[in-house]
Amino acid sequence: LASNETRVLIPSPKVKTYDEKPEMSAAEVCKAVLKGMDDEQDFIVVNFANGDMVGHTGNYEAAIKAVEAVDAALGEIYAKAKEKNYAMIITSDHGNCEEMRDSSGELLTNHTTYDVFCFVMADGVKELKNGGLNNIAPSVLKLMGLEIPAEMDEALF
């Protein structure tokens, strides 16, 4: 851990399966992110595990609640980011709860392999190139005004 690095771990609720508490700790994670922005942290990485963990249960109604909890948290984070002039990148490394049944109606509880969305909300960013996770770090560096090493792929914008 670097001397200028802070890690905050918000524990997930202690439940047998996350469909019992699909909102998990999204509100607490959101509060920690808002505090980080108020404290003027240079860079904040956030993981909302709700869609993934609840998706594994196969409970569709709980998955809807999980996504709604993340949506509410992201709304608060986005509002604060605009107020504090933070850029935001929202993406995922895989899907899960966007497809919970196959064509025959059987439950799907594993990760999906579809392309995932990537959103960049930042001054001057109007359109993104097609890319992958390998383009996220260079995009972060570009947003922060830092040099992108030659061995990295290009930014998404």
Q: CA 74, CA 66: separation in Å to the nearest integer?
A: 12
Handedness of CA 121, 127, 133, 137 (dihedral sign): negative
3-class DSSP assignment, residue 134: helix
Q: Which residues contact 83 (CB under 8 A, 6 or more apart)?
A: none
Q: What is the pLDDT of residue 39?
A: 97
The b-or-e profile of 7-42 (16+ CB within 10 A means b, else e) is eeebeeeeeeebbebbbbbbebbbeebbebbeeeee
Q: What is the pLDDT of residue 2?
A: 81
Q: Which two tokens stand for residue 46?
A: 């956030």
Q: Which domains does the chain have, with CATH numbers?
A: 18-121 (3.40.720.10), 125-157 (no CATH)
pLDDT value of residue 31: 99
Tell me: the pLDDT tens digits for 96-120? 999 999 999 999 999 999 999 999 9
Contact 77, 28 (CB under 8 A): no
State the pLDDT at residue 3. 82
Q: Which residues of the chain have pLDDT under 70?
A: none
* Residue type (1 letter), 46: V
In the numeric block, the tokens 């942290």 are attached to 41
- Calpha distance 23→68 (Å, rounded): 8
Q: Please compute, for residue 88, the number of CA atoms within 13 A of its CA located in the half-sphere on the CB side.
A: 20
- 3-class SS letters over 2-66: CCCCCCCCCCCCCCCCHHHCCCCCHHHHHHHHHHHHHCCCCCCCCCCCHHHHHHCCCCHHHHHHH
